[in-house]
Structure 1
C-alpha cells in the first residue's frame, strides 16, 4: 500500500481539494440525519451511530476497491489514489492556517479551524491557537489517515475519516453530547493513539533543537485531558521554544489547559510562520518513508 499512499499524498500536496462534494460532507450529512432522527443523550444511540457509519463506510469503500480491481493495474492505482487523497488534508490545513498570517480578519479565519471562542482573543492567543491546531491536525489530517491507508488501503483511510468526522461533530462534553458522543470520542482516541505519537516524533526530527523538542515531548506529552493531542502539541512547543496551552474559552466556558513546552521565544507571527515552514520537511520525510517502504515490499 506504500505506492498508493505516496501517490495519494502527492495528489493532495499538488492539487488539494477537488471541486466536488467531499466524502466527509456525505459522512457529516449521515451523522446529522441520524442525530435528527434517533438522538437521545444516551450511550446506546451514539454507539449505534458509530457502528452504522463505520460499517457503511467500510462496505462502500470495499466495493470501490473491488470495482477498481477490474481496471488495469496502473489505472486502478491512479483511481484509488485520487479517491484516497480526499482523506488527506496537508494542502488545505497549511493553506487554512497560513490565512491567519495574511488575512485582515484572523479571528474569523481561526473560527473555521477551532471549536474555541475567538471573538475576545488577543493576538498572542490567536497565534497560540493556530499553532496548536497546526500541530494537532498534522496528526488528524495527515499522518493518521496515511497510517491507515498504508495498513489497510482505501477502506482504512475511509473508516478513519468516518471516525474522525464523528469525533469533530458529536464528541463534546456538553449537555447535548456528553453520553451520545462518548463512543465516538473513545473510538477516536483509540484510532489516534499511535498516529499522534508518530506525528510528535516527526516534529522532533524536524526541530532545530531536537533535544529540547524531545524533552518537552517526554515531559508534557501526556498532560492534556486528551490522551493524544498533547503529544504533537508538546513536540511543536519544544521545537519552537514556546509555551502552548493555558486558558481558552469553549462554548462560553473558560477552560484551563496545562502549559506545554518552554517559554524561550514569544508566541507571535514569526513563530507561526516558522512552524508552517515545517511543511516542506514533513513532505520530504513522509515521502521518503513511503518510498522506502515501497522499495522494501
Structure 2
C-alpha cells in the first residue's frame, strides 16, 4: 500500500490510459449500472428491490474480489510481490486526483473568479453551485476533501494493508456501490439500502483514522481533537463527520451547515460553529493539511512494513 500511495501520488492515472481503457472504478461502475438497470424495476415491491439490491452487492463484489484474488495468487512473494501488488493497487487510491480536483477550485476562488470556482466545485459535490457564495464554495470543497480523504485514500489503503489486493478491490466496489445506489431517494431507498449499510461498516474505522491523521498533522492538534470529539456525532453521516470536524478544528473554520440540493434545502448542523467561514486562503491551508496527513499515513505504513 505504501507503493500504491507513492505510484499514484507521482503518476496518477494518465489521461491517455484513461482514454484508451477507462479506469478500474469506471469498470466497476459499469457492472453496477447494468445490474441496477436490470433489477431495479419500478413495478417491483419494496421487499423485492431490497433482495435484488443485496444480490447486486454480492454480484459486484464477486466481479471485483475474485479476479483480485486470482491475481494475488499469481504474484510472487517477497519485495517483488509487494511492488507488483502496489502497482496493481495504485489506480484504486485517489490521493493525487483528490488533491488536483480541490486545487482546481482553490485557484479560481483565490483569483475572485466565482464562475470558474462554481464550475470546478460542481465536479466534486452534489449541491447547487449557483447558490454558493465564496464561503459556500470553500466549505463545499473542503468538506469534499476531508470526506474523500477517508473514502478515496485512507479506507482503500487500510483494507489493502489488511487484506491485500482483494481487500482494496472489495472496498472500492463497496464504495462505488454506495455512491451509485446508496441514496435515500425513492428509486434507491430499498434497492440501495444494503449497499449503504455495508459502506457505513467498511468506513467505520478508516473515517476515524482519517480524523486522527488530521489531528496529528494539524498545526492546532488539540483544537482539532476537541472539535472532532464534540461535533463528529452531529453530522448526518455516521462516518464523514470525523474527518470533516477534525479539519474544521485544525483550520479554525466552520464546515457543513445548511446546503441546497436542487430545490431541497438540507438543514445540516455546523461543525465548529463558533469559528468563521473559510476563505480562499483556507483552501490552500486545507490542501497542505491533507498532504501532511498522507505523509503521516505513509510513515505509519513504512513502520508496519519494516516491522513485518
The alignment status of 1:24 with 2:18, answered yes or no, reads no
TM-score where L is the length of structure 1: 0.94
**2:292 aligned to which of 260, 277, 281:** 281
How far does residue 73 in structure 1 lie from its aligned partner after superposition? 4.8
How much has 1:96 moved relative to structure 2? 0.2
> Hey, what does 2:61 align to over in structure 1?
54
State how far apart, in whole Å, the 1-side matches of 2:268 and 2:277 are: 19
Q: Deviations over 1:239-272 (max 9, x none)?
A: 1111111111124311011111143343110111
5+ residue gaps, structure 2: none
Among 88, 103, 110, the alignment partner of 2:121 is 110
Aligned residues: 291
What residue number does 1:63 align with?
A: 70
Q: How far is 1:282 from its partner? A: 1.8
Task: Tell me the residue number matched to 1:183.
Answer: 194
Displacement of 1:224 in angstroms is 1.4
Are the aligned partners of 1:214 and 1:238 in contact in 2 as well (CA < 8 Å)?
Answer: yes
Whether the 8 Å CA contact 2:254–2:270 is kept in 1: the answer is yes
Q: Which has the higher helix share?
A: 2
- Give the C-alpha shift of residue 76 in structure 1: 3.3
Compute the displacement of 1:276 (Å).
0.5
Partners of 2:252 and 2:276 within 8 A in 1: yes
Q: Output the aligned Cα RMSD.
A: 1.5
- Give the secondary-structure state (helix, strand or coil) at the position aligned to 1:86: helix
Distance (Å, rounded) in 2 between the aligned partners of 1:81 and 1:206: 25
Work out the CA distance in 2 between the residues paired with 1:175 and 1:296. 50
Decide whether the 8 Å contact of 1:240 with 1:265 is kept in 2: no
Contact 2:214–2:290 under 8 Å retained in 1: no
| Counterparts of residues 197-212 of structure 1 (less than 5 Å) | 197-212=208-223
Instruction: Give TM-score scaled by structure 2 length.
Output: 0.91
Going from structure 1 to structure 2, the CA distance change for 1:266 and 1:258 (only over 3 Å counts) comes to: closer
**Inter-partner Cα distance in structure 2 for 1:264 and 1:247:** 16
Q: What runs of 5+ residues in structure 1 fail to find an aligned partner?
A: none
Q: 1:139 aligns with which of 141, 146, 150?
A: 150
Q: Tell me the CA shift for residue 67 of structure 1.
A: 2.2
Find runs of 4+ consecutive structure 1 residues off by over 6 angstroms: none
Distance in 1, Cα, partners of 2:270 & 2:277: 14
Contact 2:255 2:277 in 1 (8 A): no
Deviates more, 1:171-180 or 1:190-199: 171-180
